[in-house]
Structure 1
Amino acid sequence: MSTSSDYAGALAESAHRPLTRSDYNTLSLSALGGTLEFYDFVIYVFFAAVLGKLFFPVDMPEWLRMLQTFGIFAAGYLARPVGGIIIAHYGDVIGRKRMFTLSIFLMAVPTLIIGLLPTYASIGAAAPVLLLVMRMLQGAAIGGEMPGAWVFVAEHVPPNRYAFGVGALTSGITGGILLGSLMGILINTVYDTQEVADFAWRLPFIVGGAFGLVSVYLRRYLEETPVFRELAARRAQAMEMPLKTVLREHRAACLVTAAMTWALSGAIVVVILMTPSYLQTWYKIPAKLAMEANCAGTFMLTIGCLVVGWACDRIGTRAVMLIGWGGLGLSTWWFYGQLPGTTESLIWGYALVGFFVGSIALTPIVSTRAFPPAVRFTGLSFAYNMAYAVFGGLTPVLISLWLKHDVKGPGHYVLALSILGVLMAFVPMSSKGYKAA
């Protein structure tokens, strides 16, 4: 059995080592799984209109059908805290790897089932109920996947590459949105409207579920994190439920994580998920152009996450928070202020904002460090998922109400959250908050 001094010596020796082949394998497999899992979660958005017509009565008013369709989508957000807390609890008790693999399995299977579900015309009211159940299972899975992935990678990479590792993983996860967008464009390009309604809508879900199961198999080759192995060797896991420890001893870390998550959820939901529809509805921008601009923004988001992680390891987290969130605020103010603009300004402006949306990688970089190893998974998962359920769920409603009075409302909302992100850089935190434990 290793001793504490042995462990400390090993840490000191590896603190400034470069990334090894094993580290890159861990990052690659983790990012691939995150990409596929987030693709499975968001692909629903790109086919919401089709699903609404297939899983609800044909004589239902359009507004009510879409309300119920997006209500089922929102149910995935509401299920996140429950799944996150349960998966994280066992991740802190029996191991990160097992729960990391379980989360993607719980996402892949419901996604595959959605692609095979009978519609309302076949089984009546049971169709939307089954769709709701599958979405809730997906929500529970994503609630455990993202915090689990961040913790898994953070505890594998050397401290001097910590932020890059977390940033690279976040880049992979957000790549799932880009993949979903590209799949939506592909399906609607290859098939006509009737073919999409008849069968083609199923393909993205079946493909996503199948590749998700492949990712489950590949994750078998990942190793348990060194930090958890050391905790197990020293029997350092909390004897009580990890959540009780988090609520009693780490409330400040929870508040920091919640605030950072608010900024993250606002940037993703407004800039990446809602803006294509906003451009079409309020500025009459053609759907194809709106989706092309969105793809440019989402691609630059994945690049931005990498740059943020790289920069944090070199100039410090606080400096990157000021630059990243400040850049998001300024680029958002310019982009939404000049709409509708020209075709070139739309695409390049969306790409610029998307790059600074990469500042969302700061949320896991800061928050994962804020909790000690024994309750890290539980603390991050609880604070992140509770905040995302509230802010992610309320943001579309808030933006819809804001637009009645201010057409630039989405830009102003993201600007306000960018200012929150800048202010978080000045929050007093212990050194443990900015150095890998």
Structure 2
Amino acid sequence: MSRESKSVLHRAIGASAIGNAVEWFDYGVYAYLATYIAKSLFPGDGESGIVYTLLGFAVSFLIRPVGGMIWGPLGDRIGRKRVLAMTIILMAASTMAVGLIPSFDAIGIAAPILLYALRMIQGLSAGGEYGGAATFMAEYAPDRKRGFYGSFLEVGTLAGFTLGNLSALLLVNVLDSASMDSWGWRIPFLIAGPLGLIGMYLRSRVEDTPVFREIERNEETEQISGVYRDLVTKYLRPVLTLFGLVIALNVVNYSLLSYTPTYLGSTLGMEESDALLVPLVGQIAMLCILPFLGALSDRIGRKPMWMFSCAAMMIAVIPAYHLIGSSLTGAIVGFAILGLLYAPQLATISATFPAMFPTIVRFAGVAIGYNVATSLFGGTAPVINEALIGATGDTMIPAYYMFGACAVGLIASFFLIETKGASLRGTQIPGTPEALEEQRDLGEPEPVSVK
């Protein structure tokens, strides 16, 4: 690869990752500061306020499939770059606006209504952001290093989460309780504005993906229609497989990464600063190993990584949650164990999901399939966990929920078509015999192995 090509690739990686970082910074900050949001924007200050705040977390996910249905086909028609430019501005602006909502004491019921409205706008933009960023990254990356380069999208994810965690931890330790309740919790949301402008600048400096530009020139695929019908008829297997994998991915993601500080504080009674410290250590460890796991998937394939991660999570999650409930040290160790076992999923999704669909429906397939599963099972995980713990008194509910989700993911991984080293060019599903034949006609080299 030439120096110029590497420079373009690195800019594409940065442009993809920054938007993901903004998105997950918002989700991380919202989850980590849920108790302060509840006190400021909802009536009362008890458990009901936290449940309503977590419901606001879930609301943004309920609208994500609508975003996927809008942005996905649009991205396949007008290009990945244009859609990603729109989604990052929408995401950053709505996140920043959350920090400007007057308190419940000032404007009454309008405060939670405004919060839910902004969360829905965030969900609408996020419905195109992740699927577009993953597609953009995958189509730019070299076929034999897609796992390695794709992992940096998830580095952006965890970097956003970690920055949100650090912001919350810093504010909690610097400001007194009264300052946090009145204005301190708003500061991290306001940071999203400058982050969004940086992301917009990076994305403006990168052309659309070579794979999309190639198929855009093909007169036979200029008019893309019936995408929803095609996803149900022609591409039902990858849609259902993606659905199962995302259930595992995001139930663990939102139960473990987002909900843990609330769980440790409201359910286990841990000090607030300690509850924020627990996920921080595990997230930093995950950040360090994601590129190595992505590179490993380029050697052994995505399928073994998913099967191992789901099976290992099923074995470890219940003992790990007993450890989390034992002490601060136990919580740090238990979270880190689960985070490291979950990392093989997280490291490979940018290489796995876009490769499940052909170019003409890739953005739509990932955006719609990913967001429908996420809205039903991922973003709702914190409020479901909180409600079930309240109803049953069983503090192991998150472990049971993750166990079931990983069982679904393990079953889905058996149906995953291996695409390590396979080209994403053409109009066929990558990794299939039809795709191999088409790519021979296009002059593509044979992949390392396709199963």
With the length of structure 1 as denominator, give the TM-score of the two structures. Answer: 0.88
Superposed counterparts of 1:344-383, under 5 Å: 344-361=329-346, 362-383=348-369
Structure 2 counterpart of 1:297: 282
What's the offset of the Cα at 1:292?
Answer: 1.3
- Structure 2 residue 406 is the aligned partner of structure 1 residue 424: no
Q: Percent identity?
A: 29
Structure 2 counterpart of 1:390: 376
Structure 1 counterpart of 2:240: 255
Residues 169 and 277, structure 2, Cα contact 8 Å, conserved in 1 = no
Give deviations 1:370-396, integer Å, cap 9, x for gaps: 110000000111111001111124433
Superposed counterparts of 1:61-80, under 5 Å: 62-80=46-64
Structure 1 counterpart of 2:77: 93
- Structure 2 residue 231 is the aligned partner of structure 1 residue 246: yes
What's the offset of the Cα at 1:33?
Answer: 2.5
Q: 1:19 to 1:289 in 2, by over 3 A?
A: farther
Match of 1:34 among 20, 26, 31: 20
Residues 321 and 399, structure 2, Cα contact 8 Å, conserved in 1 = yes
In the alignment, structure 1 segments of 5+ residues that lack a partner are: 1-13
Structure 2 counterpart of 1:3: none
Give the SS at the match of 2:422. Answer: coil
Amino acid at match of 2:118: M
Structure 2 counterpart of 1:146: 130
**What is the CA–CA distance in structure 2 between the aligned matches of 1:198 and 1:305, rounded to whole Å?**
38
State how many pairs are aligned. Answer: 420
- Structure 2 residue 315 is the aligned partner of structure 1 residue 315: no
**What is the CA–CA distance in structure 2 between the aligned matches of 1:345 and 1:419, rounded to whole Å?**
25
Moved more, 146-155 or 385-394: 385-394
What's the offset of the Cα at 1:339?
Answer: 4.0
- Structure 2 residue 376 is the aligned partner of structure 1 residue 410: no
Give the SS at the match of 2:326. Answer: coil
Match of 2:265 among 280, 291, 315: 280
Structure 2 counterpart of 1:44: 30
**What is the CA–CA distance in structure 2 between the aligned matches of 1:387 and 1:279, rounded to whole Å?**
26
Structure 1 counterpart of 2:159: 175
Structure 2 counterpart of 1:435: 422
**What is the CA–CA distance in structure 1 between the aligned matches of 2:384 and 2:31, rounded to whole Å?**
18
Superposed counterparts of 1:79-228, under 5 Å: 79-228=63-212
Residues 317 and 434, structure 1, Cα contact 8 Å, conserved in 2 = no
Give the SS at the match of 2:203. Answer: helix
Q: 1:73 to 1:278 in 2, by over 3 A?
A: closer
Residues 272 and 297, structure 1, Cα contact 8 Å, conserved in 2 = no
What's the offset of the Cα at 1:61?
Answer: 6.9
Q: 1:65 to 1:292 in 2, by over 3 A?
A: closer
Give deviations 1:202-224, integer Å, cap 9, x for gaps: 21111122221222122111210
Give the SS at the match of 1:280. Answer: helix
Amino acid at match of 2:292: V
With the length of structure 2 as denominator, give the TM-score of the two structures. Answer: 0.86
Q: 1:310 to 1:432 in 2, by over 3 A?
A: closer
Moved more, 292-301 or 63-72: 63-72
Residues 302 and 355, structure 1, Cα contact 8 Å, conserved in 2 = no
**What is the CA–CA distance in structure 1 between the aligned matches of 2:223 and 2:124, rounded to whole Å?**
24
- Structure 2 residue 252 is the aligned partner of structure 1 residue 267: yes
Amino acid at match of 1:181: N
**What is the CA–CA distance in structure 1 between the aligned matches of 2:101 and 2:282, rounded to whole Å?**
33
Amino acid at match of 1:113: A
Residues 238 and 375, structure 1, Cα contact 8 Å, conserved in 2 = no
What's the offset of the Cα at 1:331?
Answer: 3.4
Residues 54 and 383, structure 2, Cα contact 8 Å, conserved in 1 = no
Amino acid at match of 2:374: Y
Moved more, 258-267 or 128-137: 128-137
- Structure 2 residue 316 is the aligned partner of structure 1 residue 328: no
What's the offset of the Cα at 1:18?
Answer: 12
Moved more, 348-357 or 264-273: 348-357
Q: 1:342 to 1:268 in 2, by over 3 A?
A: same
Q: 1:22 to 1:364 in 2, by over 3 A?
A: closer
Residues 42 and 177, structure 1, Cα contact 8 Å, conserved in 2 = yes
What's the offset of the Cα at 1:35?
Answer: 0.9
In the alignment, structure 2 segments of 5+ residues that lack a partner are: 425-451
- Structure 2 residue 9 is the aligned partner of structure 1 residue 23: yes
